[in-house]
Amino acid sequence: MKKRLGASVAAAALALLGFTAPSSIAATTDDSTCGNTGVICVGVVTDIGHVTDKSFNQAAWEGAQAGAKAVGGIANYIESNAATDTEYANNMELFAAKHYSVIVTVGYLEANATITEAAKYPDIKFIGVDQFLDTTKTTPNLAGLNWHEDQAGFIAGYLSGYLTKTGKTGEVVGMNIPPVYRYAVGFANGVAYAGKEQKKKFPATKIIYHPAGDNAFSDPAFGASNSAQLLSQGYDVIFAAGGGTGNGGLARIAKSKGKYCIGVDVDQWNTVPEAQACLVTSAEKLIAPGVADLIGKFKAGTFAGGNVFGKVGIAPYHAFASKIPAAVQAKVTAITKKVLSGSLSTGVK
Amino acid sequence: MLNTIKSFNFKSWKFLLSVATVALWIYCYSANMDITNSVVASGMRFGMPLALASMVGIMCERSGVINIGIEGTMLLSGFTGFYVASYSKNIVIGLVIAILTGVLTSFVHAMMTIKWGMDQIIAGTIINILASGLTSFLYREGSTVPNTWPIFDIPVLSKIPLLGASLFSQLGPIQLFGMFLIPAIWVMMNKTRWGLRTRSVGENPGAADTAGINVIRMRMTNVMIGGAIGGLVGGFICLELVGSFSKDFTAGTGFTALALMIFGRWNPLGAFAAAILFGLAQALATQLQIFGVNNVPNQFITILPYVFTILVLAFSAGKVRPPAAAGKPYEKEQS
């Protein structure tokens, strides 16, 4: 009897866990005309999370809205309730059933589902945000929107080279995988470039990678503790890049006075408000313009599948705008142009 | 105390290891004071959450209840602690709520395993899954706490030569509390009547019951004290060490803590030492990356703490014995 009671509690707990409300298209805009000739409908399937997450989902949704507006179309979104291929696929099919013309999926977690659905609906264009594609396995109606992380890292590193007082800069980053490596080495090269420009010999930027494992990007204690170790040895500008691991670093650096930290991917001023005391800027992937641009290409009939690279940059300085000398800001703007145009190499292959 | 000293085996590997560690420390300290202090302090920061989390395991298992739900307990507590602190704009209330959440979570575990005799591994797993699912689902980015538990140099203690700058500088009140809590748990477990009773219900609940100890109540209490410590760790990470909540922030701490508990032979001081050792290995791996040891791929450096743990575990294996009644629900024999 007692055991049965225990088992029922367990069953109830698991049932509760499995229960999530079915996802549906947010009724922001009337989409009954989708499928008619000349009507462009853009559907965004968020990763688990909301379109107000101040991060990837929000940026992709803003890009979809801007892009749809520019071509006189309609944009809607579905917020995914679970991080499973089935959930993502179901949500994409909700849009497909309503004859949407472009489906935007957000984040690498959706990559598998996006590839499958794109093959299933060849008439619909798919945009996989932050999904690097193996183009031998994908259909031409799918474009993976990516960024040159090394460029964003380089620009942020260049700024850091002008901010550091001790000349010692460090990085606490996630697992050593290609995008993280590009950010990290790009940053280090940016610092070195700024050093050379100022005729100063900086010690090499110290990169601390997470030992990986399935928690490489969700280990804030690792980020915090390693940042503290760097701070205590005089490193005064630290690039903390790597999901929760990096965010832990940012929050910790903010507790030390007079140190600078730099965020990653999106403007982390909003996503990690704890870090505002030290957050000068973030090495940013410009997601919204990238998405909007691809929608524009769809309208123009120049949409091509495969890997597409969007622009990068650094986020606004916010409260630090008044603290960074105008001359330095001007230099950063100039170097950004050079890096983006490709006339200045980041030194990362 | 005297008996402890007399019975101490000065040839034991533990003693030799301690001497070697202290010697190495003094050597490093004289070679480069600042870096040594920085690395030791970092080791403490890495080790403390693990050490406290392994206390949860010890409290539960010494009384005969296996708790693999430490991870979930910490996750839920960190979550409630952080968001309550964020909404109430008060970190003290946040910490209290974190601890209460820990107690409540372990109460659920205790009811399932002790009262209803459910499988303890399954009960712990439920808590872990539930915690991870709930906190991810309810998580909203962009919330922040008004301030976090401050970090400072502890007056007087931070001035102790050799130890002060590394152990008592730039840390917060919860970490400091932890440094005193763990020895206190050892004393309670080994030197008090309550500790004796706890150990007896964990080793032989039948005999303890015959002697008039209320096995069920003893186990319930211990599991819930463990839960309170679990809540404290959640609060420690989210409100002091890091100062923010992120999804699945526990990152396996609860499971590593269980391994350290076994390594420390279910002894609070042993587990503490094991956790600090693990933390130091972690800090050392970081330091090697700072030194720019770049003729070895960084993956080899970052796995050092784990290799180290496996080696030590391998050498100390075969001598560990868990509390005899751990994992077995106790049901009073009906006459």
CB under 8 A, 24+ apart: contacts of A199-204: A200/A167, A201/A167, A202/A161, A202/A164, A202/A167, A202/A168, A202/A169, A203/A167, A203/A168, A204/B292
What residues in A contact B46, CB-CB < 8 Å?
A: 221-222, 225
Inter-chain CB proximity B287 and A255 less than 8 Å: no
Q: Are residues A222 and A196 in the same domain?
A: yes
Taking the C-alpha atoms of residue B96 and residue B306, their distance in angstroms, rounded to an integer, is 34
Q: Are residues A223 and A89 in the same domain?
A: no
Other CB atoms closer than 10 Å to residue B311's CB: what's the count? Answer: 10
Least confident of A197-211, A335-349, B22-36: B22-36
pLDDT exceeds cutoff 70 at A6: no
Question: At a CB cut-off of 8 Å and minimum separation 6, what does A65 contact?
Answer: A75
Residue B191 forms part of a structural domain: yes
Residue B31 forms part of a structural domain: no
Among all chains, which residue has been given the structure tokens 């080793």? B203
Is A134 buried (19+), middle (13-18) or exposed (0-12) by CB count in 10 A? exposed
What domain range is B195 assigned to?
Answer: 43-150+170-316
**What pLDDT is recorded for position B28?**
85
Q: Are residues A334 and A198 in the same domain?
A: yes
Residue B30 forms part of a structural domain: no
CB B103 within 8 A of CB B231: yes
Can you point out the beta strands (E) in A138-205?
142-147, 169-173
What residues in A contact B283, CB-CB < 8 Å?
A: 225, 229
Distance from CA of A178 to the nearest CA of B (A): 14
What residues in A contact B298, CB-CB < 8 Å?
A: 176, 207, 209
Inter-chain CB proximity A9 and B237 less than 8 Å: no
Instruction: Specify the number of domains making up chain B.
Output: 1
Q: Are residues A270 and A259 in the same domain?
A: yes
- For the whole model, what pTM was predicted? 0.85
Question: Which residue of A14, A224, A243 is in closest CB contact with B126?
Answer: A14
Percent of chain A past pLDDT 90, that is, above it, reads 70
pLDDT exceeds cutoff 60 at A1: no
Q: What phi and psi values does residue A10 have, to the nearest 5 degrees?
A: -60, -45
Q: Are residues A268 and A175 in the same domain?
A: yes
ipTM above 0.90, yes or no: no
Instruction: Single out the residue of B205, B239, B210, B184 nearest to residue B59, CA to CA.
Output: B184
Q: Are residues A42 and A175 in the same domain?
A: no
Q: Which residue has the higher pLDDT, A14 or B258?
A: B258
What residues in B contact A223, CB-CB < 8 Å?
A: 242
Distance from CA of A3 to the nearest CA of B (A): 6
Inter-chain CB proximity B42 and A229 less than 8 Å: yes
Least confident of A50-59, A254-263, B273-282: A50-59
Torsion on CA atoms A273, A279, A284, A288, rounded to nearest 10? 40
What residues in A contact B285, CB-CB < 8 Å?
A: 211
Q: Are residues A111 and A87 in the same domain?
A: yes
Residue B159 forms part of a structural domain: no
Inter-chain CB proximity B112 and A247 less than 8 Å: no
State the DSSP string of B181-193.
Answer: HHHHHHHHHHHSH
Task: Give the mean model confidence (pLDDT) for residues A79-96.
Answer: 90
Residue A76 forms part of a structural domain: yes
**What pLDDT is recorded for position B7?**
58
What residues in A contact B142, CB-CB < 8 Å?
A: 53-54, 270-271, 273
Instruction: Specify the number of domains making up chain A.
Output: 2
**What pLDDT is recorded for position A4?**
62
Q: Are residues A322 and A197 in the same domain?
A: yes
Domain containing residue A221: CATH number: 3.40.50.2300
Domain containing residue B49: CATH number: 1.10.3470.10
Query: How many contacts, defined by CB atoms under 8 Å, are there between A and B?
Result: 166
Inter-chain CB proximity A13 and B287 less than 8 Å: no
Question: Which residue of B37, B134, B299 is in closest CB contact with A176?
Answer: B299
Residue B16 forms part of a structural domain: no
Kindly state the greatest CA–CA separation across chain A. 79
- CA-nearest residue to A48 within chain B is B137
What domain range is A247 assigned to?
Answer: 149-284+317-341
Q: Which residue has the higher pLDDT, B86 or A7?
A: B86
CB A107 within 8 A of CB A129: yes
Q: Are residues A329 and A191 in the same domain?
A: yes
Residue A1 forms part of a structural domain: no
Q: Are residues A173 and A322 in the same domain?
A: yes
Amino acid at B120: Q
Task: Give the mean model confidence (pLDDT) for residues A224-248.
Answer: 92
Residue B321 forms part of a structural domain: no
Residue A198 forms part of a structural domain: yes
Residue A20 forms part of a structural domain: no
Residue A101 forms part of a structural domain: yes
Residue B9 forms part of a structural domain: no
Inter-chain CB proximity A274 and B145 less than 8 Å: yes
Q: Are residues A197 and A334 in the same domain?
A: yes
Per-residue pLDDT band at A47 (split at 50, 70, 90): confident
Inter-chain CB proximity A53 and B141 less than 8 Å: yes
Question: How would you write the pLDDT of chain B (335 residues) with one tens digit per residue?
Answer: 556 555 556 667 777 877 888 888 888 888 888 889 999 999 999 999 999 999 999 999 999 999 999 999 999 999 999 999 999 989 999 999 999 999 999 999 999 999 898 899 999 999 999 998 888 878 877 677 877 888 888 888 888 887 888 888 888 899 999 999 999 999 999 999 999 999 999 999 999 999 999 999 999 999 999 999 999 999 999 999 988 888 888 888 899 899 889 888 899 999 999 899 889 888 988 898 888 776 677 777 777 777 877 777 777 666 678 888 888 888 876 65
Residue A193 forms part of a structural domain: yes
- Give, for A41, the enclosing helix (H) or strand (E): strand A41-45
Q: Are residues A277 and A292 in the same domain?
A: no
Taking the C-alpha atoms of residue A14 and residue B205, their distance in angstroms, rounded to an integer, is 31
Percent of chain A past pLDDT 70, that is, above it, reads 93
Residue A27 forms part of a structural domain: no
Residue B225 forms part of a structural domain: yes
Inter-chain CB proximity B285 and A211 less than 8 Å: yes
Residue A22 forms part of a structural domain: no
Q: What phi and psi values does residue A207 have, to the nearest 5 degrees?
A: -105, 125
